[in-house]
Amino acid sequence: MVHRIKGLVFPQNTRSLLFFGHHGIGTFCTGQAPAIRLWLEASPGSIDPYCYDPEDSLKRYPCYPYVSQVWAYDATALLQVKNGQIQPWSVEAYAV
C-alpha cells in the first residue's frame, strides 16, 4: 500500500488537518516502470521486478492504479505526539 501526500490544509476554527494525496490500490512492487511494459515482469537475475506505473517512471514503490483521497486527522492528537503524551503510530485518520 502506497500513499503519496500532495498537500495539507488546516482549516480555520477547526481541529482538523486535511492531507490530500493518492492511495495505491494495485500490486505493491519495486523497480523501474518502463512505459512499454503493461504487466509486471520479473527481471532475470534480479529481485526487483519491473513495475508498470504510467504516473511515475522513477524507481520508487508503485501500486498503480491510484485513487485520490483526503485523510482527516485531529490536530489535538498530533499535538499529543509532539508533547510525548502518545506514540506517533497510535494516531490514525478519523475519516478518509
Per residue in 82-93, pLDDT (tens digit) is: 999 999 999 999
pLDDT for 2: 64
Say which residue the cell 478519523 belongs to.
94
Tell me the pLDDT tens digit for each residue of 25-41.
Answer: 777 766 555 544 444 45
Does the structure show a pLDDT above 80 at 49? Answer: no
Same domain, 96 and 74: yes
CB atoms within 10 A of CB 34: 13
Predicted TM-score (pTM) of this structure: 0.65
Could you give the CA distance from residue 55 to residue 66 in angstroms, rounded to a whole number? Answer: 9
* Domain limits for position 58: 27-64
Same domain, 69 and 94: yes
